[in-house]
Structure 1
């Protein structure tokens, strides 16, 4: 056995824990190659570290091989995982695209790097984008088309969204391609009637930001015309999620909370208020994020140190769970890509017809240079930049520009935010610094909820 398998490098272990039903000292082990966690006795863990596999029973060895704690010997496990990712990417059956139909927005968020102007997609550009999308669907065997509406504030281009969606839905139906859509919105205009118009065009998933309660949020996300945005957005959320159509259509909302030193003390208050308004029971999730630099605007100057944020995130998550919010995953899942940047056909279209590899590039002065663009919708067939910045992340990741080849979490991270690494910043997700705590939280959640697939106890 010792010669057939070796201990994977892609493992994270918790400190020793003693579950009530398990008298022996044990650890929780996270195998990032599969995104699975296991409860494992301390003596077995020490045998793993020592390579004493012959002292383990066959059932234990079988489980460890299935979860890829033990793997066949290889010269370079990182390169193996990278090749698996690239192979899986070539077989993806969903074409995912981001459309930014307007450069306009009502808010002047303190951390936003975009320059907003009153510019929406014109009819000719819209028609060209639809034609390009359908051409891609004809050339490759995609079974699904996923559109994410982004901005600016996309609802300010609602007519364009309805027009483009209507044409795509019709043509996808004729081609046998399933169409669905999501939206990142500031929530200021997401009234019940607007939700119904969007839902008729297959938009069922929304991300909306609230950065604390009342003044804490309003200082971060003020309305350009004057006044606060918090009360309006919260009421919209309550109204829309309370509609019978919202539950009938299985719509969902993720509330993103961007956090720095100024609003960190209001996160728990926001969780409490959202729970009191009934949102925890309405398919509403929470996503805690640190404020980061956006296009060289130094928005991260007031951000918390990464370790401090990671520690607080565990507390916020626990508090949200106590208040009734559910989290799809506490532990990160196995992923083949950090985001859209490495997907060969994934593109971002802005209101001017520019095509980018990253949805944070449009309307941001720093990223207006040609090296950040794949091309333009009117000339993409003649002039195409396949080496746009971030597009070759899976090649550049091997050159030492980040510590990813040495990180045990690469299989569930894919490198994090490529844009940040290219900017000379750290693109690691927060779970890199709180994974052991997440392991324990995930275990106790599953034990409490009696999930159908609890972490198996390994002898």
Structure 2
């Protein structure tokens, strides 16, 4: 059987294990070979992934290719439990549609809150204009009242703290967190929170405050060695930032709290040229601590005033660099937070495509996307002090219907359950192009990376790492 599959076996849809049925290969199963010619198998409907042992290929590969007829047991049952085999009568297109309907009717609420839109940094590739400062009193009231009004119909509340630089207003994070934690706890509703921060204010005291505020996942950006980082991520007054961020990360490692710290590396050609010494520095400090991981993303032209002066990696070169950097980091002993979450069912869907996800600006403006804050079609409404959200349905519909609904190519894609054609509604809205996510375009590489992570660390992704990934 494929070894090491970490997803829980999906309950078999058949009446009982003794029933004789015909089973066919799932159309959402992918088989690839790594450099050693070992077969890796993945199913995008269940998120199951595994490796086929060389001495079992003669038994497993025919099942994956031809299916199975007879009483389901043994190896065939294990493959069916994980979704690699499905009943002959199953219509997997309907399964994919059902998966999307469940997402669109989910009873959770996802709030991306901007306690301030100001930032103490002026990164050379940033796209924000820092037009507004701290979240005003009426908007804070609105967040509390929105949560209070929604509790009766919610089954979970998930919060992302974003900015600007959210730690510039940690008092607002405390105020709103204390309210939301108390309100959800009183109703027995799960609450989770994460934060995207530049790390400059992430000292021991603020880390403790975040943990007390229910923040369990923290993303901090470090763009290479000190001279490279400080050339791109400078303070508002032009000062360097690497040394203080690094000391904060080292202090976090010494702290006894449970959290997950994902170190994001935005790379350009200069970063890649000196990647190995930077990785050695990360390994020396954080390898072996399962609370820390690293992931890589190419610097892009994200709409900032300085775009024409920013050197970037694009296309195939960027994808290859991301893949090779991740593999190298893993081989050196650093966990990666950047691949497996996107292979899960729905894992490559942008938060902006979900009807229950809203960005709340400091002045109460409601958005769907954190990358297009200046776009009028992204300003979908306003949150009032009484918790009422007044939403422009036409703008809202742009974001939540820009998916596979009218895209025959997406509907026939093996990656459909993970992406649903909604990996980036912004791309569809602005260009009409199909926004295929990188894990799909680089699926073989993605599967190899994930399986190497499993073999190195005993898990497909770092513990408590899900939910990261909003752009900084």
TM over 0.5: yes
Inter-partner Cα distance in structure 2 for 1:157 and 1:271? 32
Change beyond 3 A, Cα 1:43–1:298: farther
TM-superposition CA deviations, 1:279-307 (whole Å, max 9, x none): 65261111211223424769597432433
Q: Is the partner of 1:6 in helix, strand or coil?
A: strand
2:16 is equivalent to residue 8 of structure 1:
no
2:105 is equivalent to residue 95 of structure 1:
no
The structural deviation recorded for 1:263 is: 2.0
Change beyond 3 A, Cα 1:150–1:74: farther
Q: How does 1:375-454 map to 2 (within 5 A)?
A: 375-378=381-384, 381=388, 383-388=390-395, 392-394=399-401, 396-400=403-407, 403-414=409-420, 415-424=422-431, 427-447=435-455
Change beyond 3 A, Cα 1:445–1:209: closer
On the 8 A contact 1:241/1:282 being kept in 2, the answer is: no
Equivalent residue for 2:140? Answer: 126
Equivalent residue for 1:261? Answer: 269
Equivalent residue for 2:233? Answer: 221
Q: Is the partner of 2:33 in helix, strand or coil?
A: coil
2:113 is equivalent to residue 104 of structure 1:
no
TM-superposition CA deviations, 1:10-52 (whole Å, max 9, x none): 232222776xxxxxx7522212111112444655677468647
On the 8 A contact 2:364/2:384 being kept in 1, the answer is: yes
- Out of 331, 355, 361, the position equivalent to 1:350 is 361
Change beyond 3 A, Cα 1:318–1:395: closer
The structural deviation recorded for 1:160 is: 1.7
Q: How does 1:147-162 map to 2 (within 5 A)?
A: 147-162=159-174
2:321 is equivalent to residue 312 of structure 1:
yes
On the 8 A contact 1:357/1:391 being kept in 2, the answer is: no
- Out of 70, 76, 84, the position equivalent to 1:61 is 76
Change beyond 3 A, Cα 1:344–1:445: closer
The structural deviation recorded for 1:309 is: 2.9
Inter-partner Cα distance in structure 2 for 1:16 and 1:125? 52
Equivalent residue for 1:31? Answer: 43
Considering only aligned residues, what root-mean-square deviation do their CA atoms show, in Å? Answer: 3.4
The structural deviation recorded for 1:86 is: 1.9
The more displaced of 260-269 and 120-129 is 260-269
TM-superposition CA deviations, 1:235-286 (whole Å, max 9, x none): 111122312xxx3x31221111112323222333322112222465261111
2:291 is equivalent to residue 291 of structure 1:
no
Equivalent residue for 1:188? Answer: 200
Inter-partner Cα distance in structure 2 for 1:221 and 1:74? 56
The structural deviation recorded for 1:114 is: 0.7
The structural deviation recorded for 1:108 is: 1.5
The structural deviation recorded for 1:375 is: 0.9
Change beyond 3 A, Cα 1:423–1:272: farther
Give the TM-score, by structure 2 length: 0.80
The more displaced of 63-72 and 290-299 is 290-299
- Out of 332, 335, 340, the position equivalent to 2:345 is 335
Equivalent residue for 1:22? Answer: none
On the 8 A contact 1:35/1:333 being kept in 2, the answer is: yes
On the 8 A contact 2:330/2:456 being kept in 1, the answer is: no
Change beyond 3 A, Cα 1:69–1:168: closer
The more displaced of 259-268 and 36-45 is 36-45
The structural deviation recorded for 1:226 is: 1.1
Equivalent residue for 1:374? Answer: 380
Equivalent residue for 1:456? Answer: none
Q: Is the partner of 1:374 in helix, strand or coil?
A: strand
The structural deviation recorded for 1:185 is: 0.4
The structural deviation recorded for 1:173 is: 3.4
Inter-partner Cα distance in structure 2 for 1:261 and 1:448? 28
TM-superposition CA deviations, 1:371-424 (whole Å, max 9, x none): 322311139848422343575445643223x95333322222343222233332
On the 8 A contact 1:65/1:71 being kept in 2, the answer is: yes
Equivalent residue for 2:335? Answer: 326
Give the TM-score, by structure 1 length: 0.82
- Runs (5+) with no aligned partner, structure 2: 1-18, 461-472
On the 8 A contact 1:281/1:325 being kept in 2, the answer is: no
On the 8 A contact 1:17/1:27 being kept in 2, the answer is: no
2:367 is equivalent to residue 359 of structure 1:
no
Q: Is the partner of 2:77 in helix, strand or coil?
A: helix
- How many residues in Structure 1 have an aligned counterpart in Structure 2? 433
Q: Is the partner of 1:423 in helix, strand or coil?
A: helix
The structural deviation recorded for 1:195 is: 1.7
The more displaced of 202-211 and 389-398 is 389-398
On the 8 A contact 2:199/2:245 being kept in 1, the answer is: yes
The more displaced of 117-126 and 233-242 is 117-126
The more displaced of 158-167 and 56-65 is 56-65
